[in-house]
């Protein structure tokens, strides 16, 4: 069953929804990256919660006009209008009053959502219209979606993705280096407006799939995940798009198999699983990589200190140091240096002596900053400089 879902074999609607969720995830991942790099990730939380009153009011208007109130385009239009209003409120509160952006976000989020709940309870008492299904907007529900809705979703998601890709260049510029973007003639305010517009569209399209409470995760999690894998802006964008697409795809497929469960949490948890994997195994920033790096560093320090002790004829008592030196064939089990050990020790001592001269001389100040007790001096100085340093060593140290 799950294999069928993953291979898009569960019927036309489920396939459309899965494709739509994949495209939406990619668009959200890419758009979210810019939001994340501009440090405004949580603005999207305010936008998404602000859609609720719009959905409710659109339903009431459509019922008043004689429909059954469930037409998805109308509901999404209402959601878009009230989300834009919420975004305006956040901007206004931040710019015109002394409130910080975090307080503005929290205030808009809770008040709009609260008002939305009031409207939902009003709708519950209405006799006209088929109100069942509005709760689906809270946590997302793709089960039993109408064909026309599935088509709308897939097309809209494709359009958003195209829009994001079209505007990628200025957005990248503004989020990576806003000063340069301004100097290059871009208007930062307009780029921000475009970014928020895209986030708004992603939110509205994602309402039915992910739900308004959790759509913020679709914008943030892929970007944060991607950040673990690379330090390049353009790569973060692409990886975030891939992570978002993968969560949308796997989440929608899983949800097609378990129609009783809301779709949003499944998609979010798939994304979170990808994030956890990245947190653990990504090179550079990952947990595993940090542990490995720490051990490697520890070993280098122990080797170096052990060799220096050998060179000065001091006995080594530290167990790890002895083990490391023995394993490298530098000492015998009783702690006596082998021939290679003596050579390596002499080299380490020479290195240390050269470093001490370099660090005392102001003219080598730039090179001296590279001193960490581990870096071989040949990596820092040229052979000519080394000869100059060696000339200042008083008497060559001979290791017996």
| Residue among 285 and 326 whose Cβ is closer to another protein | 285
The sign of the dihedral angle between the CA atoms of 143, 148, 151, 156 is negative
Cβ atoms of 321 and 305 within 8 Å: the answer is yes
DSSP percent split of the chain into helix, strand, coil, nearest 5: 75, 0, 25
Smallest distance from the beta carbon of 257 to another protein, in angstroms?
Answer: 14
Among residues 263, 229, 254, 271, which one has the least CA distance to residue 28? 271
SS3 72: helix
Cα separation, 230 vs 111, whole angstroms: 38
| Residue among 2 and 118 whose Cβ is closer to another protein | 118
Smallest distance from the beta carbon of 164 to another protein, in angstroms?
Answer: 19
| Residue among 97 and 314 whose Cβ is closer to another protein | 97
Smallest distance from the beta carbon of 121 to another protein, in angstroms?
Answer: 4
| Residue among 115 and 371 whose Cβ is closer to another protein | 115
Cα separation, 167 vs 162, whole angstroms: 9
> Which segments of the chain are extended strands (E)?
none
Smallest distance from the beta carbon of 50 to another protein, in angstroms?
Answer: 11
Cβ atoms of 311 and 344 within 8 Å: the answer is no
| Interface residue list for another protein (CB under 8 A) | 36, 39, 41-42, 45, 93, 96-100, 102-103, 105-107, 109-118, 120-122, 125, 135, 138-139, 213-214, 216-217, 220-221, 223-224, 227-228, 260-262, 264-266, 268-269, 272, 275, 279, 285-287, 290
Cα separation, 331 vs 317, whole angstroms: 13
Torsion of Cα atoms, 216 then 218 then 219 then 224, to 10°: 110
| Residue among 87 and 389 whose Cβ is closer to another protein | 87
| Residue among 125 and 362 whose Cβ is closer to another protein | 125
Smallest distance from the beta carbon of 106 to another protein, in angstroms?
Answer: 4
Among residues 15, 310, 275, which one has the least CA distance to residue 154? 15
Smallest distance from the beta carbon of 161 to another protein, in angstroms?
Answer: 22
């Amino acid at each position: 069953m799950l294999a069928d879902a993953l291979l898009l074999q569960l019927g036309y609607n489920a396939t459309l929804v899965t494709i739509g969720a994949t495209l939406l995830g990619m668009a959200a991942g890419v758009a979210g990256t810019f939001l994340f790099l501009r440090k405004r990730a949580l603005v999207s939380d305010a936008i998404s919660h602000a859609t609720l009153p719009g959905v409710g009011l659109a339903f009431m208007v459509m019922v008043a006009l004689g429909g059954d109130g469930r037409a998805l385009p109308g509901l999404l239009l209402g959601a878009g209008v009230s989300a834009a209003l919420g975004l305006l409120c956040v901007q206004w509160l931040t710019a015109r009053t002394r409130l910080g952006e975090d307080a503005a976000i929290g205030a808009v989020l809770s008040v709009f959502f609260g008002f939305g709940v009031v409207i939902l309870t009003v709708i519950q008492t209405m006799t006209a219209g088929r109100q069942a299904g509005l709760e689906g907007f809270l946590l997302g529900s793709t089960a039993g979606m109408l064909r026309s809705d599935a088509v709308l979703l897939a097309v809209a998601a494709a359009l958003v993705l195209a829009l994001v890709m079209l505007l990628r260049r200025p957005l990248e510029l503004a989020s990576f280096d806003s000063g340069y973007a301004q100097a290059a003639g871009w208007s930062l305010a307009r780029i921000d407006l475009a970014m928020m517009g895209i986030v708004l569209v992603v939110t509205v399209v994602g309402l039915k799939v992910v739900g308004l409470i959790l759509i913020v995760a679709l914008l943030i999690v892929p970007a944060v995940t991607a950040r673990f894998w690379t330090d390049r802006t353009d790569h973060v964008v692409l990886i975030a798009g891939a992570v978002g697409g993968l969560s949308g795809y796997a989440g929608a497929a899983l949800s097609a198999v378990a129609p009783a469960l809301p779709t949003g949490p499944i998609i979010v948890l798939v994304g979170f699983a990808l994030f956890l994997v990245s947190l653990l195994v990504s090179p550079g920033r990952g947990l595993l990589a940090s542990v490995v790096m720490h051990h490697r560093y520890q070993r280098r320090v122990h080797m170096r200190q052990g060799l220096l002790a050998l060179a000065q004829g001091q006995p080594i008592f530290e167990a790890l140091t002895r083990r490391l030196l023995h394993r490298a064939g530098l000492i015998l089990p009783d702690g006596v240096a082998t021939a290679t050990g003596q050579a390596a020790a002499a080299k380490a001592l020479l290195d240390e002596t050269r470093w001490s001269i370099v660090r005392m001389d102001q003219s080598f100040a730039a090179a001296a900053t590279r001193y960490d007790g581990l870096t071989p001096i040949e990596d820092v100085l040229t052979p000519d400089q080394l000869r100059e340093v060696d000339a200042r060593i008083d008497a060559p140290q001979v290791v017996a």
